[in-house]
């Protein structure tokens, strides 16, 4: 099954581990992961967030590390038939991109 091409949809403040852990795991077994974000191009960075339980009634939210966008969104949009899977990383990012008409299409 190695060698699959995966499109990862992200947005600013996507949960850090849902980008990095997924991407590293898929690449470790031989898949290609293209990380895209609306209005971002290859080489851009997006901010991520971290959620942690620190003894309060709910989790805290903190800035995470920057994540690299490695494919321009509009380029991936034109090549959708080349992808074997689409993964939408969680966190705040999906709250933003779910209203984007290009993502909905």
CATH number of the 5-99 domain? 3.40.50.880
pLDDT, mean over the chain: 93
Name the nearest CA neighbour of 10 among 105, 103, 104, 75. 103
- Say yes or no to pLDDT of 88 above 90: yes
Alpha helices in the chain (DSSP H): 16-28, 73-78, 93-97, 101-104
Count the Cβ atoms, other than its own, within 10 Å of residue 1.
7
Domain boundaries, the chain: 5-99
Residue 101 contacts by C-beta under 8 Å, 6 or more apart in sequence? Answer: none
- Residue 1 has what pLDDT? 67
User: pLDDT tens digits for 65-77?
Assistant: 999 999 999 999 9
User: pLDDT tens digits for 20-57?
Assistant: 999 999 999 999 999 999 999 999 999 999 988 888 88
């Amino acid at each position: 099954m190695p060698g699959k091409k995966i499109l990862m949809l992200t947005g600013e403040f996507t949960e850090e581990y849902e980008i990095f852990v997924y991407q590293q795991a898929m690449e470790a077994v031989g898949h290609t992961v293209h990380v895209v974000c609306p209005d971002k191009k290859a080489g851009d960075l997006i901010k991520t967030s971290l959620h942690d339980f620190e003894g309060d009634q709910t989790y805290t939210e903190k800035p995470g590390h920057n994540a690299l966008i490695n494919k321009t969104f509009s380029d991936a949009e034109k090549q959708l038939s080349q992808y074997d899977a689409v993964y939408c990383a969680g966190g705040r990012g999906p709250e933003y991109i779910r209203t984007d008409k290009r993502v909905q299409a």
